[in-house]
Chains A and B, each alone.
Chain A
Amino acid sequence: KQEVTQIPAALSVPEGENLVLNCSFTDSAIYNLQWFRQDPGKGLTSLLLIQSSQREQTSGRLNASLDKSSGRSTLYIAASQPGDSATYLCAVSNNNDMRFGAGTRLTVKP
């Protein structure tokens, strides 16, 4: 059964810092990996989707990488802003479902 782990569980940084969030998964036979953002009490907003054949995807200040063979992904956030404060979830897709990590709660202090 696919297990997804995210480290760290929580992260607090000053505004302007670059940061990296980590995601690991146990079964490398995935279709894709998706990073989401979740604000408190709200639904999930998709940030980046990486297909299994891809190595990375970029959107604005966000860059996500995928190393399928080692079961790892990273989400890099450049020049962090207070508005980036949220929980970031990593999810991997196998066949009929998507398995989620527990998330990294990010706080960016002004």
Chain B
Amino acid sequence: ETGVTQTPRHLVMGMTNKKSLKCEQHLGHNAMYWYKQSAKKPLELMFVYSLEERVENNSVPSRFSPECPNSSHLFLHLHTLQPEDSALYLCASSPKTGNYGYTFGSGTRLTVV
């Protein structure tokens, strides 16, 4: 365990479903991130939160909705997804944005059917 925990590990959902991914960190970090990893593509940054405020939304479709209720928890709410949204979704945290290394969770493998 890295200190960043993601649940569930695997998720299969239909295109009309609504589901949420959860990320939790107990490292005392103030910045949290969502990344998407598709097959044979580099990791793509989706959202950045710093002290519970969203500081970056990297042109992500509105069917992905992040929520950061406190500095230890980050959610990604999913609705009406498409099959091409199937990917590994990774959460990361860092002490703050900028000049600090990241710690990643193990990811949620999402399959949209």
Q: 1/0 per position for B18-45, CB-CB distance to A under 8 A?
A: 0000000000000001000000111101
Q: Which of B33, B98, B107 is the one whose CB lies under 8 Å from A95?
A: B98
Counted as pairs of residues, one from A and one from B, with CB atoms less than 8 Å apart, the total is: 68
Residues of B within 8 A of A13 (CB): none
Q: In the complex, are the beta carbons of A46 and B103 less than 8 A apart?
A: yes
Q: A46-B101, A51-B99 known; A96 and B56 CB under 8 Å?
A: yes
User: Within the complex, which residue of B41, B104, B109 is in contact with A36, where a contact is CB–CB below 8 Å?
Assistant: B104
- Taken together as a complex, chains A and B put the C-alpha atoms of A103 and B42 apart, in Å, by 7
B48 proximity list for chain A (CB < 8 A)? 96-97
| Measured CA separation A4–B98 after assembly (Å) | 18
Partner of A97, one of B6, B33, B90, B107: B33
Number of B residues with CB within 8 Å of any CB on chain A: 29
- Chain B residues in 8 Å Cβ range of A72: none
B40 contact set on A, CB distance < 8 A: 102
Contact A96 B97 (CB under 8 A): yes
B66 close to chain A: CB less than 8 A: no
B-binding segment of A37-45, A61-69, A77-85: A37-45
Query: Mostly helix, strand, loop or mixed at chain A's interface?
Result: strand
- With known contacts A43-B90, A46-B102, A100–B107 Cβ distance under 8 A: no
**CB neighbours of A34 from chain B (8 A):** 101-102
* CB-based nearest B residue for A46: B101
- Bitwise interface map of A from 93 to 110 toward B, beta carbon under 8 Å scored 1, else 0: 101111111110000000
Smallest CB–CB gap between B41 and chain A, Å?
A: 7
Q: List residues of chain B with CB within 8 A of the CB of A100.
A: 42-43
Q: List 5 A-B contacts (CB under 8 A).
A: A41-B88, A41-B107, A95-B98, A96-B50, A98-B45
